[in-house]
Structure 1
Amino acid sequence: MEGEAGDWAYPFLGELTNPRNHNAAIQDLQTFGEEFARAVSDPDEERVAARKIVDLTQDDVETKSTNKYTTKFKTLAAELTWNDAALMAQFSKGLHWKTKEILSQCKQQPSTLQTLMNTAIVIDNVRQENEASRKKETGKEKEKGKGKTSGIASGETIIETTTTQVSKEEIDRHKEWGLCIKCGRGPHKATECCTGWDATPAKNPADRKKEPKKESAKIAEEEEENKDEELGKEDRCA
Structure 2
Amino acid sequence: MPTPPPPAPVTAAAPQFVAVKVDHPDPYKGKIGSEAKQWLTCMLAWIWLNQRMFPTQVEVLSFLLMNMDNATGAWAHPHLDLLGSHCAIIQTMDDFKREFLLAFGDPDATRAAEQKITLLTQSGTCANYITKFCTLAMELDWNNAALHSQFAQGLHWEGGKYQPAGLDQQKLSNDPNFVSEEEQNRHRTKGACIKCSKMGHKFAECCTGWKATPREDKGKPKETAKIGKESGLDLGKD
With structure 2 as the length reference, what TM-score do the two structures score? 0.29
Higher relative contact order at CA 8 Å, sep ≥6: structure 1 or structure 2?
2
Q: Which has the higher helix share?
A: 1
**Greater radius of gyration (CA):** 1
